[in-house]
């Protein structure tokens, strides 16, 4: 009986090719994952003065607004509370004003 190792060698070579291919695929996936993580990583910092400038900006804008005229607001508040804006009369009046344009 003669034993040949040719079959064993070809099987081993095939196994090594498959293992190398799998390793290559795994490495590519790892690199892609690292790139994705690097692309989404941000370093954000806010200066200590950022809050002060935001507060100053809000104050400046609030001071630039026109003065509130309570005599104009009071009737609107009353109509809201009474449900006037949900009535057919208001809808008709609004439609007429919009079509007059």
Tens digit of each residue's pLDDT, the chain (101 residues): 555 555 556 677 787 788 788 888 888 888 877 776 666 666 777 677 766 677 888 888 888 888 888 999 999 999 999 999 999 999 999 999 999 86
**Would residue 55 count as lying in a domain?**
no
**Would residue 57 count as lying in a domain?**
no
- Domain of residue 94, residue span: 68-101
**Would residue 52 count as lying in a domain?**
no
Counted domains in the chain: 2
**Would residue 12 count as lying in a domain?**
yes
Residue 65 backbone phi and psi in degrees, to 5: -70, 150
**Would residue 19 count as lying in a domain?**
yes
């Amino acid at each position: 009986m003669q034993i040949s190792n040719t079959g064993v060698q070809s099987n081993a070579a095939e196994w090594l090719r498959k293992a190398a291919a799998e390793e290559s695929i795994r490495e590519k996936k790892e690199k892609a994952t690292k790139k994705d993580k690097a692309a989404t990583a941000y370093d954000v910092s806010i200066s200590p003065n950022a809050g002060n400038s935001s507060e100053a900006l809000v104050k400046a804008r609030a001071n630039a607004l026109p003065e509130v005229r309570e005599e104009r607001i009071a009737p609107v508040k009353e109509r809201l509370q009474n449900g006037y804006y949900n009535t057919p009369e208001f809808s008709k009046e609004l439609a007429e004003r919009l079509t007059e344009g």
